[in-house]
Chains A and B, each alone.
Chain A
């Protein structure tokens, strides 16, 4: 019987069924971060239960770490206890920690793929909703809470209900300066913030085939913003080329054996999906959010929508968003004055994201009055960017160049805006108060964020480059 890629991965990893009907799914790689881990360690120690597979478990310090140069445990006082508890807990349990100061420290969703810890066809869990970032490599990932994390620590399986299968077919060639971020924002706008709830999403189509691995990760990262826990792309030659030689990836004969298996990781031609959606990406322009959830999105040439044009069930949310964002219906997005730009987060902080932004800002200056930050997704990304001179490009333009971590995505490390500030951000959530109390977040691509930093306003990157304006 023809199978979808999801079914192939799920069926291989299905260990059994529990008395309560939940299916036990083996988790090949489990990555912890400091906000949740200490709860799990304490819980297991109280119950005198060991970590079943510390060798398949990894840990990072990312959510609370300061980004300023020379940082230490105390640079963000709100994070100190979490960093120490993580260090002690991983030591007691024999878990490899990418600690503050480790040359490979960074955001879990950036570190795990770049080290080859996560592999095609593998299952992956992280106590963080953006776990499915690694779906860009063809892994099946599940974001989870603290209890489920603790369960995986004790058993190396998750007890799940099998989700339904959705295929999102994205076709057409992306225009200049249009990237996976724009595609994802458009898709969320079309399907809504709960549009993929209950589904595992396979991204397919010609736009995906042409997409570099880092962009596939951006797309899969945003899957949760339309309610889907898992999103992935079938691995292909681009994936295998990207993974080859990475530290934790298989080597030699095992690599050859893995590769032969990975080539079978596609949905069969006649496989059935529970739902299919399509998006033509060929005419897509850069996208930007105008409101306070990631489905409130328009093209960069668009305007804040009129309430009459909004579906009745979504109108109350729009009314509340106008007020919070300080925007009136009909206002064009391009041209709105801004106070901040943030380039970073598990969504858009990998090397190609920084290269795109650097190419736009090279030789130019951030507009007066705009605070602009770049925070690389990992210490490895930072090192590579510095080797290529990107830090100079950003610094010369007036950007802050930070140490790696989640930073302003959720502000858990103290990097936040001031009340009323308008921020163009390459992150994943424009929720109220997320980047600081009363901060107004506009989600966009690294290219749009960079162009806006130069213009001091929300800008269409295509025009900034065309006119050299800034």
Chain B
């Protein structure tokens, strides 16, 4: 996993609630195993019916074409558990999403891939969103996970909370499977206990 410590980039305001993963990374025709995650991101919202760019979509505006921070509303990433909705962000160099809240599975998928999900309290979010809109892509914001602060044009630094465990995982780019494999002895002894206590759980055989 990519390490995350500090990220300086243009912040784009996508002011909407309940953006779902069908919108973020739609299922496209003609797909294969090697998908174009860069083109997938907001594929429908980015295009008009004739296939040309939709100039009104925020990430198509000239000042936000290289945005690396997305600022959005409540319940971001609802719906399907598809991880392409995170991979498509990274393929566009978006490393931070600041939201009022995230859907559970989406937030977990972010943490698994080194994409920093930040939740701000409503009042702070109002202020930060206003600053991002006012900045209008003219100057970048910096998100520092070491100090847990967001800095940039239009005001003071904003502190953000993140669970210590999630912070450590992103800062160190920890191999999640490796972390768990350190507990293999416990897993195997659990299996032995379960085989005695609930033997039907440790075997799954077609009894016909």
Which residues of A come within 8 Å of B, CB atoms? 12, 15-16, 18-22, 24, 26, 28-29, 35-36, 38-39, 47, 49, 52, 55-56, 58, 77-78, 81-82, 85, 115, 117, 119, 121-122, 127-129, 143-148, 150-151, 154-157, 159, 161, 193-194, 197-198, 227, 229, 247-251, 254-255, 257-258, 261, 293, 313-314, 316-317, 410-412, 414, 429, 431-434, 437
Contacts and interface: CB of A to CB of B under 8 A. Distances in A.
Contacts of A432: 22-23, 44
Contacts of B78: 193-194, 227, 293
A56 B80 contact: no
Given A19-B179, A85-B33, A159-B180, A56 B186 contact: no
Interface stretch (B55-63, B137-145, B152-160, B198-206): B198-206
A151 B176 contact: yes
B180 to A, nearest CB: 5
A431 B183 CA distance: 41
A406 B74 CA distance: 29
B194 interface: yes
B205 A248 contact: yes
15 contacts: A18-B182, A24-B187, A47-B177, A49-B181, A55-B204, A81-B32, A117-B204, A147-B109, A155-B180, A193-B75, A194-B18, A194-B78, A197-B75, A258-B200, A429-B79
A435 B171 CA distance: 40
B200 A250 contact: yes
B17 A313 contact: yes
A102 B83 CA distance: 28
Given A24-B180, A146-B83, A194 B75 contact: yes
Interface string B94-128: 00000001011100110011000000000000000
A258 B198 contact: yes
B75 A227 contact: yes
B177 A431 contact: no
Given A26-B187, A26-B190, A197-B75, A129 B80 contact: yes
Main secondary structure on chain A at its contact with chain B?
Answer: loop
A151 B105 contact: no
Contacts of A410: 22, 27, 80
A128 B81 contact: yes
B173 to A, nearest CB: 13
Contacts of A26: 187, 190-191, 194
Contacts of A433: 22, 26, 44
Interface in B12-59: 16-18, 20, 22-23, 26-27, 29-33, 44
Nearest to A414: B29
The 3 closest A-B pairs by CB, nearest first: A20-B165, A147-B112, A250-B200
Contacts of B32: 78, 81
A244 B23 CA distance: 42
B82 interface: yes
Given A250-B200, A258-B200, A49 B177 contact: yes
Nearest to B44: A433
Contact of A159 (B30, B176, B208): B176
Contacts of A22: 165
B176 A147 contact: yes
Contact of B183 (A15, A115, A229, A316): A15
B112 A145 contact: yes
B59 to A, nearest CB: 17
Interface of B: 16-18, 20, 22-23, 26-27, 29-33, 44, 74-75, 78-83, 86, 101, 103-105, 108-109, 112-113, 163-166, 168-169, 174, 176-177, 179-184, 186-187, 190-191, 194, 197-208
B108 A145 contact: yes
Given A55-B204, A194-B75, A431-B23, A18 B104 contact: no
B103 A197 contact: yes
A157 B81 contact: no
Given A19-B179, A21-B164, A145 B33 contact: no
Given A81-B32, A145-B81, A129 B22 contact: no
Given A24-B180, A78-B31, A127 B194 contact: no
Contacts of A151: 176-177, 180
Given A20-B179, A257-B199, 12 more contacts: A16-B186, A18-B179, A26-B194, A28-B201, A49-B177, A119-B200, A145-B108, A147-B109, A148-B109, A197-B75, A227-B78, A429-B20
B176 A78 contact: no
Given A20-B169, A250-B200, A251-B207, A144 B108 contact: yes
Contacts of A194: 18, 74-75, 78, 101, 103
A202 B147 CA distance: 40
